[in-house]
């Protein structure tokens, strides 16, 4: 391995899994393939969050086959945020330096993990994929979801500040020593913005890179993200806290 390659920080790639039997094989293989091309140590950690279908059996078979894949299991469904924290705890046990979070459905491109590695090597502590910077897109996503997401991020970006354009994107990476210090409690998708509020509160360097979000395929179950009043209010709570802490 070259000196440049060795300079990329070690990375744990956490993949939450819940009832994805129709696509989890293809998704994890693609993520592991990207981990193999990572210029440094990388390990993929699948967290089965109490799946009620055949997902667990498929992931166990893959973990026995693929040397860069491990599995942690919740006996019951505990939620997206809980799955992330379980995966991060496993990355800490493996003494890795950064943790990245990516969905198993390939709506985020696994090859962007290489961009994350490059940015981590430059010293950025919090690295976030963005659909709304130049080169990013979510054009393949249904119009209604695009409109709601765009509106929400305009409001959220203004409240969070720091020039962040895509506050709700769940594809991101963070220096593990920072992540494990935060008293994160959110079980659901609001874990994304809870975590961001802590990153800004601690003064972490936040950098965005352009990424393309695609839609789930016909063979996959629908998105688990609910555009409900409860979810929106929980997102807004952390954005308002961040705005309250900003000077002026």
Count of other CB atoms within 10 angstroms of residue 132? 19
What's the mean per-residue pLDDT of the chain? Answer: 91
Q: How far apart are the first and last CA of the chain?
A: 49
Q: Provide the pLDDT confidence category of residue 161 given band limits of 50, 70 and 90.
A: confident
pLDDT higher at 240 or 111:
111
Domain boundaries, the chain: 3-245
Place of tokens 């990329």: 8
Rounded distance, CA 231 to CA 226, Å?
7
- Indicate whether 226 pLDDT > 50: yes
Confidence at residue 244, expressed as pLDDT on a 0 to 100 scale? 87
| DSSP letters for 30-55 | HHHHHHHTSSS-EEEEEEEE--SSSH
By C-alpha distance, which of 115, 88, 68 is closest to 184? 88
Which pLDDT does position 6 carry in this prediction? 58
Q: Is 190 exposed, middle or buried (0-12, 13-18, 19+ CB in 10 A)?
A: buried
The span from the CA of 107 to the CA of 138, in Å, is: 10
The burial class, CB within 10 Å (0-12 / 13-18 / 19+), for 165 is middle
pLDDT of res. 232: 77
pLDDT (tens digit, 9 = 90+) per residue, 86-138?
A: 999 999 999 999 999 999 999 999 999 999 999 999 999 999 999 999 999 99
Query: 3-245 maps to which CATH number?
Result: 3.90.550.10
Q: Taking 80 as the threshold, does the pLDDT of residue 46 lie above it?
A: yes
Instruction: Answer whether residue 58 shows pLDDT above 70.
Output: yes
């Amino acid at each position: 391995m070259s000196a440049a390659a060795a300079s990329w920080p070690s990375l744990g790639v956490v993949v939450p899994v819940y009832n994805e039997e129709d696509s989890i094989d293809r998704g994890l293989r693609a993520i592991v393939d990207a981990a193999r091309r990572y210029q440094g140590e990388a390990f993929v950690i699948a967290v089965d969050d109490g799946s009620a279908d055949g997902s667990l059996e498929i992931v166990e078979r893959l973990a026995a086959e693929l040397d860069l894949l491990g599995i942690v299991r919740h006996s019951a469904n505990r939620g997206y945020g809980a799955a992330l924290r379980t995966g991060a705890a496993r990355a800490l046990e493996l003494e890795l330096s950064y943790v990245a979070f990516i969905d198993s459905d390939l709506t985020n491109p696994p090859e962007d993990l290489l961009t994350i590695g490059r940015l981590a090597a430059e010293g950025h502590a919090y690295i976030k994929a963005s659909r709304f910077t130049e080169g990013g897109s979510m054009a393949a996503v249904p119009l209604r979801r695009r409109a709601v997401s765009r509106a929400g991020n305009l409001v959220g970006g203004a409240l969070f500040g720091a020039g962040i354009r895509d506050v709700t994107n769940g594809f991101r990476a963070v220096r593990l020593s920072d992540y494990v210090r935060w008293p994160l409690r959110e079980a659901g998708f609001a874990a994304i913005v809870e975590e961001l509020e802590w990153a800004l509160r601690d003064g972490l360097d936040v950098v965005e890179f352009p990424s393309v979000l695609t839609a789930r395929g016909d063979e996959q179950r629908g998105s688990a993200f609910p555009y409900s009043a409860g979810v929106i209010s929980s997102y807004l709570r952390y954005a308002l806290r961040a705005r309250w802490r900003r000077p002026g």
